Amino acid sequence: MSKSIAVLKFGGSSVKSIGRMQHVAKIIDQWRQSQLTLVVVSAMGDTTDYLVKLASQCSTEPDRRELDLLLSTGEQVSITLLSMILREMGIPARSFTASQIGIFTESVYSKARIVDIKTDNIMKGFQDHDVLVVAGFQGVTADGDITTLGRGGSDTTAVALAAAVNATTCDIYTDVNGIYTADPNLIPKARLLGQVSYEEVVEMARLGAQVVHPRAVELARQYNVLLRVRNTFKPHCEGTTIDGGENMEIYRSVSGVAIDKDQARVAILDVPDKPGIAGTITQALADNHIVIDMIMQAFHPTIGMNNLTFTVHQSDLNQTIKTLEQLKAQLGAADVLADPDIAKVSIIGAGLAGQPGIAAKLFTTLGSGGVNIKMIASSEMKLTCVVNKADSEKAARLIHDAFELETTPSKGSLTF
């Protein structure tokens, strides 16, 4: 096979109608002139949300296996329709589900991780077709059960396929020009970033920025796949390049601000202060596939007791409460409390480490703006504050202005 392989991913907004699919097909046609083209697509528009709604009308707590099988049908509609459009244009194309291609995952429903991809069917498909259209977001277990990869899983599918076929680049097409310093829908002054590092994008995505799924970026970093985020409707726009940051502006201390409103805060009160308690709690949550984000063990006025507080995704809140209530008697805890009315507001940047002035400026800015901080967490590339959900957008605007993120920094300058 002499031609290289281009890997393209189109999100739900790019394929939400037949007209948009026809536009996508023209982009694909440009690529396939010079390269074999592997296309990954999401479900059309809000199809996945609609299917979840249907499931909720059938069951208060749908069986996860059945739900995954249902949700996987959204991408099957997209791949077949897009393949039909391509073939109508005279382009040799063929659609594949994840099971037909051979995208194998662990046996975990709704949040499965890819464990292997068989490339034999891909290479066989390219013998007779210029374009292969693959369903994103889904996989299959060794026993043949359909699984889904979680929200944003089509990004992960695309990057995993790029790594499997040794593609150097994966182009993620969406409905925005690229990655901005903040959500431009909330902060019109937000600036488009021409280049950003894998590490920064992982943090942005984990903290609420929804352009690229964090698992996909981590996979790209692991296999050295360069990512390009591009606008489907402005195909000539260069967008944002995501790479190892070798040529990044190291003087840019803060790259952006992100909001995540899909969070909840949970506390288990008056647990014994002794070895093993935190492990028991976190293991019970892990056994239920609940990801803990921020975690804080507060000073307790009673010697020998502690309060443990952490944040989880809103979708995991009910299961988290149920799990902790089951543990409460075993641990001798007093109560389990939940606060669903929170949001995380974070600043992200490769230049945060070792600059105490940044934290001081962040906290002072929020305080002066009347925004109360409920929890704080930091790492080498992020500084996160938990605030009331109603204050989150105001907080983001205050931070964006305070750090002058709409302005391209001058070389040699640090903003803090």
| Distance in angstroms (rounded) separating the CA atoms of residues 342 and 339 | 7
Residue 243 and residue 190 in contact, taking contact as beta carbons nearer than 8 Å: no
pLDDT value of residue 416 = 30
Looking at residue 292, the DSSP 8-state letter turns out to be P
What type of residue sits at position 216?
A
- Distance of alpha carbon 149 from alpha carbon 181, whole angstroms: 27
CB atoms under 10 Å from CB of 236, counted, come to 6
C-alpha span between 294 and 11 (Å, rounded): 29
At position 345, the amino acid (one-letter code) is V
From first to last of its 416 residues, what are the pLDDT tens digits of the chain? 567 999 999 999 999 999 999 999 999 999 999 999 999 999 999 999 999 999 999 999 999 999 999 999 999 999 999 999 999 999 999 999 999 999 999 999 998 999 999 999 999 999 999 999 999 999 999 999 999 998 779 999 999 999 999 999 999 999 989 999 998 888 999 999 999 889 888 888 777 667 788 889 999 999 999 999 999 999 888 899 998 866 554 556 788 999 999 999 999 999 888 888 889 999 999 999 898 988 888 766 777 788 899 999 999 999 999 999 999 988 989 999 999 999 999 999 876 767 778 999 999 999 999 999 999 988 888 899 999 999 999 999 999 999 999 886 644 333 33
| CB-count exposure of residue 53 (10 Å: 0-12, 13-18, 19+) | exposed
Of 244, 241, 227, 239, the C-alpha closest to 169 is: 227
Cα–Cα dist 85/93, whole Å: 9
Helix/strand/coil for 258: strand
Beta strands in 99-152 (DSSP E): 103-105, 114-117, 131-135, 138-140, 146-148
Cα–Cα nearest to 89, from 47, 54, 131: 131
Question: Residue 42 has what pLDDT?
Answer: 96
Rounded to an integer, what distance in angstroms lies between the CA atom of residue 23 and that of residue 29?
A: 10
| CA–CA dist 294, 313 (Å, integer) | 11
Is the CB of residue 357 less than 8 Å from the CB of residue 253? no
Among candidate residues 299, 303, 306, the one with its CA nearest the CA of residue 271: 306
Q: How many angstroms separate the CA atoms of 8 and 294, rounded? A: 34
Q: How far apart are the first and last CA of the chain?
A: 52
- pTM as predicted: 0.79
Which residue from 137, 195, 145, 196 is spatially nearest to 161, judged by alpha carbons? 137
CA distances in angstroms from 154 to 9, 184, 365, listed in the order given: 8, 23, 37
Token pair for 314: 């809103």
Name all domains of the chain by residue range, CATH numbers in brackets.
5-175 (3.40.1160.10), 257-402 (3.30.2130.10)
CA 327 – CA 313 distance, rounded (Å): 20
Backbone angles phi, psi at 145, to 5 degrees: -80, 140
Q: Which residue from 113, 96, 116 is spatially nearest to 104, judged by alpha carbons?
A: 116
Please give the single-letter amino acid code of residue 46: D
Whose tokens are 């935190």? That residue is: 278
Q: Which amino acid is at 163?
A: A
Sheet with 375-378, side-by-side order of all strands: 295-298, 305-313, 256-272, 335-348, 382-388, 375-378
User: For residue 193, what are its two tokens?
Assistant: 């970033």
184, exposed or middle or buried, with CB in 10 Å at 0-12, 13-18, 19+? middle
Phi/psi of residue 204, nearest 5 degrees: -60, -45
Sign of CA dihedral 298, 301, 305, 307: negative
Could you give the CA distance from residue 250 to residue 132 in angstroms, rounded to a whole number? Answer: 39
